[in-house]
Structure 1
């Protein structure tokens, strides 16, 4: 929904950033800023800075930064509108009611009702677990060495042996058969009529990132089939876009997730202190899962079962994660089947060691591949390397590919030169030896490598908000038009307008960007790391070189996009090129 910019700014101004962040991070005042341990990466000495004057935060360690809206979006994984609502409520600012179309209102009402039904069902299952008839389920969980605290934390429950108890209970709460069916909690057939989907099972509520119950998993007591049963997909439950345990793992603030196969693996790891464990919901890892993971971490450790099925699942997961820009490592559970068994037998300390010794995902896939070849015979080894090379060609980035060539050569005791020759030869044969062309937009979930010119443009924007004197200098030579990336240009235009009115306020500019990705990208523009330069002369030279780089790129860009008949535009560009030569001769002085 669109909210007036004045209203958004009122909410921002009434929520002092130091006060808000102090609710999440312990801050200490040092000079004009406040410092604390960064909540977005692990660190031992504080590098997370919050400025009351600028109403902005910045981490010198990981580069996270933005205004009060950005912080809530990053920490709580809120959308801009969600962050705005929370802060408006905190400050007592009344937001106008959202106007829905009839269809949209019905859809929103249905989602809210299904969430209510699932919440009530979860509470019902929890109470059943603690009752006499739930003793079988409770005993099962205690035999799996789960504490009462863990059982409560994950909301575990029990669906009793009577096959329509929950249905009757929910009807008694006023919910219709149709709504209970849409929540995925009942089935119907000619023989039994309406009956509960889950009965005689230990129940695992599945929650979204905002701790709302969206579905269930159930483990049968006894020898019934299937052993594990999950809720069907509903309006609120999409298996391919949710992860079990993510609501808890996202607040662990660790830089990686432990990806498991089952509910019990996740729960056992959390109980042992590994609070960054998650699992896919009865389905193989999907691109939707990878996109979701990318919002929180850049690295995943796969802790799949050590059997053949678990190995195949890991091999499928590695390229999916890589495509999303997430590096994958594989933890071996041998001699145990899964993390749950491992923890029970060897303990948390040994599991920590396994994390430290995790295998690189690509090298692990080669390790498994090598088992299909006779590595003792020249023919078998040659065939293995030919297949390996086909996989190495998949690395588009030359540096990354060369690093893997070296790693493979070292692991399998061949010369890097001969392996590199085979890579080149195979690339030519396969028709893949051509210059890599960067796509204009990256595949879903994958961020393209940032070009040098974009870094230069970001540097100028960061310099401009740091020092009004430097802004004046840059303004002599650079206009908003020289920022070739549309979002950068919009930010520059807003900054220049503020500068002209004597009000330089980057925190306010971020209010302009309400789309989640745009907001985060805009926030990053004001926090580009400026290399430490020891002398005033070095700073002046660096500034001059950056101005020249941005201006030259701007002229080239506009020349390429100039209409052939635009003679006036061509003359302007020629004049700018002459001025560019003049700038090269100038001495730019920082006061």
Structure 2
């Protein structure tokens, strides 16, 4: 991609505003700080430096520029993030030379996103049409108001087998494209037809607000209750949460989320003022969903049905959140009630009271599994403690789990170790190239990163001859190519990480301090060059002696003595 286009995108974006869409930032001098959205924490170790154009987390070392942040928070690769941000900022992209397959994937992705956006509009028009009266009546009976219909983009798919297919064809899309992105289905006989027929349609958004999938709820009770979009090039099952796009700002603001089941439960919660509500999509809660949600908040309240299936789902969700270190509480609804019926039947204050009296997540798990068989209890304890992310967190939970199950801590440790189970093969360690640098190489490169105004002098001073590590040489070559620019867009992931890590640790320095640091570096480079000259002179002296060239020996000895006096 053209570096100039990337620079224009960055110049048109406000770093603090963009990060603030996902994280609750507060000012701290020239920087802005917050708890990191990429790992669970309560202290603000995540720093944004808009002046220098980078972010850095002192906890998990996540770092990068504004495009890197947007890519990581939205689960995109760098090029996908550039394409989206270019559209947002109105920058025309020049992709330049590009692998044809990669270019096609990017183009297909944009086509699929447009297909989903236009399909959502089509479903909304269906709902508003004369034929949509039955589906509108259903939504009225569920007491979904017009504001929520608009906010969540709820629509209706007609019962026709080829309704959406015809619409997409009229917009110029091929049937094969619609099959690939999951809007149409092709059976074993090759027949192509609409995936969603006569269903209330719930668009599923990614964090950037783009529609990437649909959930379809049947109106006819004889049909399967829900059908969801299958895995596609723009949608990975188990990564998204329903309503997180709409709830994100409230979740970040309150550092708290409500997690429930079902599309209409989420809609009802938002309708009654619970703006932090999000929902599990079709399947059980996944580790990816937990990681994504806990990055935005420190507490998650689970609001699940009170039947056996709901209790089981709540235990599983609670243990996953607790294993990650999130604060978790559980609200169990009365048998026969769901969130939607409770809110409409008894009002939001009843639910607020239930949330305020919610049981601690770990206590809920320990109490619920009392009804399990002994083997199930042991399996649960081993699975939960084995899943806890850190030893410190495990040490925190161990006494409570032991007490709750009436077991000793020693017994629990034995369960977690499972000595009779075969040990998995250790994965090969990935070597961090930065760790192979000498202290002096790291110091010189750090100075070069933090003081771009001295890079030309560093080059003239012979820094390339000082660096022996291959990674250090490659890094310096790229860095010197920037001139005084501080935009490492063309660097590798490891190089970017080192670049931003150094900037983040560099305290705000005055020009005098930079000049003093340069004098120290210059003295080292001069000394290194002098040693190199002495070394070469000694080699020439030995060669002259071997050849019996007395005149050259005399001249070289004098020159060597002069160099020694300089040193």
TM-score by length of 2: 0.63
Given the superposition, is the C-alpha separation of residues 503 and 76 from structure 1 closer, same or farther in structure 2, using an over 3 Å criterion?
Answer: farther
Q: Answer yes or no: is 1:404 the counterpart of 2:381.
A: no
Given the superposition, is the C-alpha separation of residues 517 and 222 from structure 1 closer, same or farther in structure 2, using an over 3 Å criterion?
Answer: farther
Q: Answer yes or no: is 1:129 the counterpart of 2:122.
A: no
Does the 8 A contact of 1:207 with 1:214 survive in 2? yes
DSSP 3-state at the match of 2:332? coil
Deviation at 1:423, TM superposition (A): 4.0
TM-score by length of 1: 0.61
Q: Which residue of 2 aligns with 1:223?
A: 221
Q: Answer yes or no: is 1:495 the counterpart of 2:472.
A: no
> What are the residue-to-residue correspondences of 1:102-501 with 2, within 5 Å?
102-187=100-185, 194-254=192-252, 255-297=255-297, 299-322=299-322, 326=326, 328-334=328-334, 337-372=337-372, 399-408=392-401, 420=408, 422-423=410-411, 426=414, 431=419, 484=435, 493-498=444-449
Q: How many angstroms apart in 1 are the aligned matches of 2:222 and 2:238?
A: 26
1:339-387 C-alpha deviation (Å, 9 max, x unpaired): 22232234334433433433343332211111237xxxxxxx9997998
Structure 1 segments unaligned to the other structure (5+ residues): 374-380, 413-417, 433-437, 443-480, 531-591
Does the 8 A contact of 1:303 with 1:338 survive in 2? no
Q: How many angstroms apart in 2 are the aligned matches of 1:269 and 1:132?
A: 29
Does the 8 A contact of 2:155 with 2:202 survive in 1? yes
Higher deviation after alignment, 258-267 or 193-202: 193-202
Does the 8 A contact of 2:434 with 2:498 survive in 1? no
Does the 8 A contact of 1:336 with 1:342 survive in 2? no
Deviation at 1:136, TM superposition (A): 1.2
Higher deviation after alignment, 341-350 or 362-371: 341-350
Bigger CA radius of gyration: 2
Does the 8 A contact of 2:269 with 2:277 survive in 1? yes
Given the superposition, is the C-alpha separation of residues 14 and 386 from structure 1 closer, same or farther in structure 2, using an over 3 Å criterion?
Answer: closer
Q: Which residue of 1 aligns with 2:521?
A: none
Deviation at 1:264, TM superposition (A): 0.9
DSSP 3-state at the match of 2:144? coil
Q: How many angstroms apart in 2 are the aligned matches of 1:431 and 1:189?
A: 48
Given the superposition, is the C-alpha separation of residues 424 and 293 from structure 1 closer, same or farther in structure 2, using an over 3 Å criterion?
Answer: closer
Given the superposition, is the C-alpha separation of residues 523 and 148 from structure 1 closer, same or farther in structure 2, using an over 3 Å criterion?
Answer: farther
Given the superposition, is the C-alpha separation of residues 282 and 7 from structure 1 closer, same or farther in structure 2, using an over 3 Å criterion?
Answer: closer
Q: How many angstroms apart in 2 are the aligned matches of 1:515 and 1:245?
A: 35
Q: Which residue of 2 aligns with 1:511?
A: 488
DSSP 3-state at the match of 1:206? strand
Given the superposition, is the C-alpha separation of residues 117 and 490 from structure 1 closer, same or farther in structure 2, using an over 3 Å criterion?
Answer: farther
DSSP 3-state at the match of 2:488? helix
RMSD: 5.4
Given the superposition, is the C-alpha separation of residues 64 and 91 from structure 1 closer, same or farther in structure 2, using an over 3 Å criterion?
Answer: same
Deviation at 1:311, TM superposition (A): 1.7
Does the 8 A contact of 2:322 with 2:362 survive in 1? no
Does the 8 A contact of 1:39 with 1:253 survive in 2? no
1:422-446 C-alpha deviation (Å, 9 max, x unpaired): 54784699659xxxxx99979xxxx
DSSP 3-state at the match of 1:216? strand
1:210-238 C-alpha deviation (Å, 9 max, x unpaired): 22222222222232311222223333232
Given the superposition, is the C-alpha separation of residues 311 and 173 from structure 1 closer, same or farther in structure 2, using an over 3 Å criterion?
Answer: same
Given the superposition, is the C-alpha separation of residues 358 and 92 from structure 1 closer, same or farther in structure 2, using an over 3 Å criterion?
Answer: same
Does the 8 A contact of 2:216 with 2:226 survive in 1? yes
Task: Report the count of equivalent residues.
Answer: 469
Q: How many angstroms apart in 1 are the aligned matches of 2:392 and 2:36?
A: 31
Structure 2 segments unaligned to the other structure (5+ residues): 421-425, 456-483, 508-567
DSSP 3-state at the match of 1:243? coil
Deviation at 1:130, TM superposition (A): 0.8
Deviation at 1:128, TM superposition (A): 1.0
